[in-house]
A and B are shown apart, each in its own frame.
Chain A
Amino acid sequence: MDPSLKKVAEVWERETAIVEGMDISGPWNRMFGQRVIWDYSPDLIEEIAQLPGAESFAWCYQCGKCVPVCPVDVVGDYGPRKLYRRAQTGINLLDSPDLWLCTTCANCLRVCPKLVDMVQIMPAAREHAMLTGRAIPAELQEALENTAIYGNPLGQPARKREAWVKDAGVPVPILHQIQRPVEWLWWVECYPSYHPRGIDASIALARIFNALGLDFAILGREEKCAGDSQRLAGERGLFEMLAEENIRTLAKYEFRHIVVTDPHALNAFRKHYPKLGGQYDVWHYTTLLARELPKLQPLLTKSLPYRVTFHDPCYLGRHNGEYDAPRQLIQALPGVEFVEMLRCRENSYCCGGGGGGMWLDSFAAGHQRRRLSEERVLEAVSTGADTLVVCCPYEVSRFEDAAKSTGVEGRLRVRDIAELLAEAMGLIGEDAA
C-alpha cells in the first residue's frame, strides 16, 4: 500500500438499512468515525468578527459565490471567501495588503447566502488597523490628512471650492451670497469642484439646471467633503467630524431638497447623516433630470452620432438602487445608439475608486494585473462603443487615465451624462470636455 495514504480509522456500514422505505444497505450508509475537523485556529477570524459591524466576517461558510463576482478577483486574487480562508491559515487581514484592496462595491453581498457584508467589515477592520497603529498606504494617508485639514482629499484651499463658478457662463448662486431660500441645494462635492474634468461636468450641469429654470444654489466654500469614501476607508471619526460640520452648515439655510453630483454623497446623506441628526430629501442628479425629462426632451435638439455604453456607479446602482434614470437620459439623447456591457446594472463592474480606492491607485495597481478601471474600459471598447458614459465624479478621470494606459484613448471617449445632455442641448461644444 502507498505509505503516503493514511488509513481512515473507523468506517461503519450497516448491512441492512431501510430509511423511510428506501433500502440503503451497504456502502450507501457508510459513516466515518467521529473526528475533529477543526484543523485551523479561528483566532484571526474572531479578531475581525469581534469588531462592531464586522460580525458577519465569521459567518462565511466558504461557498465561494463571492469570488467570481468580485471585481478585484477578476484582476487579482481576492474575494471575501479568500480573505476568510487566509485568516484560517494564519494571514492576519489587518497586516495584509488585502485590507486595502476591497472597493466596497457590494457585488459579493448581492450573491452571498450568508450576508457576509464587506461594506461594513472593511471600514471596521481598517479603523481597527489604524487605531492599533498599523501603517496605512501613503497615498491614502495624504488624502485623509488633506480632508482633515482642507475639507477635500485633493488638498485644495477651501475658498477655491467655488472658483469654478466663474467659468460656468451661467448664474450659479452661492448660498452665503444670496441669503434666500431655494428649492434645490446642489451638493457639488470635491472632484466636481476642483478636478478639471469634474469641473467640466459641473459646468455642463449648471447650464442644464439653468436651461430648466431650476431654483438652485450651492454652498461654495462652506461645503466640505461629504466624507463617505473616507468612512469606508476606515476613517469613521473623520467622517463624523465632516458630517457634523456639514449638518451645521446646512442648518443655516432654507432649501427643500438636496441634489448631489456624487453617488457617494448620496449614500452618505441617505444612510449615515440621519444617524447624526441630518435628515434631508436627497436626489442624484440623474434621478432629478429623468423626472424633468418632459421638459428636457424638447431641448435635446442636437443629434449625437455616438455609440455609447454606460457604467453603473456602485454607489448609485447596487448601493442605492438607481439603474433606470441614467438609462432614460441616455436613451433620450437624439442620434445616440445605446449598447449595454455584459456586466451591467446589478452585476455592474466597479471602477476601483470606491471605498477609498480613489486614493489607493498605485497601491492597488501593485497588487493587480491591471487596474479595475482598465478592465472596465476594455470591456466598454469590446461592445463597439465609442463613448463611455458615466455619472459619478470619480469615473471620468479614472476611465480617461485607463483609456490612455490601455492604449484605447483614440477609440473611447469618456463623458459624464451631464456633458452629453449639455452637448445635445447645444450648451457646450463637442470638444468642450
Chain B
Amino acid sequence: MTQRIAVLVEHLEGQPTDVTFELLGLARRIANTDGASVQAYLFGERVGHLAESLPADSVTVVEHSALHHLAPEPTARVLAALLPADLPRLLLVPNTSLGMDVAAWVAAALEWPLVAYCQALEHRGSRLVATAQLFGGKILADVTLDERPTVIAALAGAFAADAVNPGAPGKIERRDAPAELAALRTRSVVLERPEAADVDITRAEKIVAVGRGIESKDNLELAEQVAQALGAVLAASRPLVDAGWLPRSRQVGKSGLKVKPKLYFALGISGAPEHLEGMKDAELIIAVNKDPKAPIFGVADYGAVADLFEVSEALLERLEG
C-alpha cells in the first residue's frame, strides 16, 4: 500500500480556507518525493460537493450535523476514530484556532508525535525534518521525524498553495459517521460574524499599522494623521485592539485579518509571529521601530531604527506641506 500524506480540510461557511490549499500543496510536495499519495479528510454537515475542488488523490468525506462548524470535540473524535486504521505517514492540520484544538487532542489520544507551529517541512536525506517557530519567533526548533505516523500543526501562510493536479479530482470515499458522534458532550455550536466593519482593511491598498510602540491611546491621532496623509487606512496589532483602542475589524494577524496591501507601513510593531502571519505578503513593507532586533525587520523591505513619533512628524510635515 502506498503511504499517504493526510490533510484535515478546514472550511468556514462552505468554503475551504486558504490554509487548506497551503497544506495540500505541502502534502503534494512531500508525497511526490516519497512516492506517496495525498489524502484529504473532509468533515462537515453538507460538504461533499467541496471534495471535487480539492487537489488530493483521495478525499475521505464524513458528513454529520455535529461536524457542521468543525467544533473541537466532534472533529477530533472522528479523526481519532479513522486514523488508527488509515495510518497515514503524516497528518497535516492547520495550527489555527480550529486546527490546534484537533491536532493536539488527536496526537495525545493516539500517542502520536506532534510538531506544532511548523513553518517548514522538508526532506534532509532520507529523513523528514519539521521546523517549528518557538519563543515568540526568536528560536527555531528542527525536529527529525521518526518512522511513526506524526501530526504536524502547520502555520497558516508558511507554505505555498501550488495546485499540482487541480484538474483531476481524486477518488471520493464516503464514510459513515463513527459511533463516537452519538455520545458527544459538545452541543449548540453557533458562528457569529462581527458587526459590519467600519473599514474593510483586507481591501485597503495602503495600510498604516500601529503596535505597542505607540505607547498610549492619545498617540493614535498622530498615526491616523499619517494614514490620512498617505491615503491609507489605520490598522493595529492585537495588543492595541485588546486594549480597546481600535475595533477588532482593524486587527491584523493570526486572530485578526490577513491583509495583502500594496503598502504596509508598520509603526512600533515588533512583529510577533502571530502578527507577521497576517501581513507578510504585503507588496511593500516599511517598518519603523526603536529595537534593531525587532522581528518585523525580518519581513520588511525597508526598515528604520528610529523613534516612530519623530519619523511620523517628519512625514506629516512633508506630506501636508
Contact = CB atoms under 8 A, between A and B. Distances in A.
A139 B313 contact: no
A365 B218 CA distance: 9
B217 interface: yes
B139 interface: no
Given A361-B216, A365-B218, A404-B309, 8 more contacts: A138-B243, A139-B216, A196-B307, A361-B218, A362-B216, A362-B217, A362-B218, A404-B313
A405 to B, nearest CB: 9
Interface residues of B, number: 7
Interface of B: 216-218, 243, 307, 309, 313
Contacts, number: 11
Interface residues of A, number: 7
A91 to B, nearest CB: 25
A139 B243 CA distance: 11
Nearest to B217: A362
A400 to B, nearest CB: 10
B222 to A, nearest CB: 10
Interface in A330-383: 361-362, 365
Cβ-closest 8 pairs across A and B: A362-B216, A362-B218, A362-B217, A365-B218, A361-B216, A138-B243, A139-B216, A404-B313
Contacts of B216: 139, 361-362
B309 to A, nearest CB: 8
B198 to A, nearest CB: 22
B190 to A, nearest CB: 31
11 contacts: A138-B243, A139-B216, A196-B307, A361-B216, A361-B218, A362-B216, A362-B217, A362-B218, A365-B218, A404-B309, A404-B313
A206 B94 CA distance: 54
A1 B243 CA distance: 60
B119 to A, nearest CB: 26
B40 to A, nearest CB: 45
A198 B216 CA distance: 20
A365 B243 CA distance: 17
Contacts of A365: 218
Q: Among B217, B243, B309, which residue has the most Cβ atoms of chain A within 10 A?
A: B217
B243 to A, nearest CB: 7
Contacts of A139: 216
Interface in A234-269: none
A81 B6 CA distance: 73
Contacts of B307: 196
Contacts of A138: 243
A361 B215 CA distance: 10
A181 to B, nearest CB: 37
A227 to B, nearest CB: 22
Nearest to A362: B216
Contacts of B217: 362
A135 to B, nearest CB: 14
A364 to B, nearest CB: 11
Interface string A183-208: 00000000000001000000000000
A196 B216 CA distance: 18
A203 to B, nearest CB: 18
Nearest to A365: B218
Contacts of A362: 216-218
Nearest to A409: B313
Contacts of A404: 309, 313
Contacts of B309: 404
A362 B244 CA distance: 14
Nearest to A138: B243
A404 B314 CA distance: 12
Nearest to B309: A404
B191 to A, nearest CB: 31
Contacts of B218: 361-362, 365
B219 to A, nearest CB: 9
Nearest to A139: B216
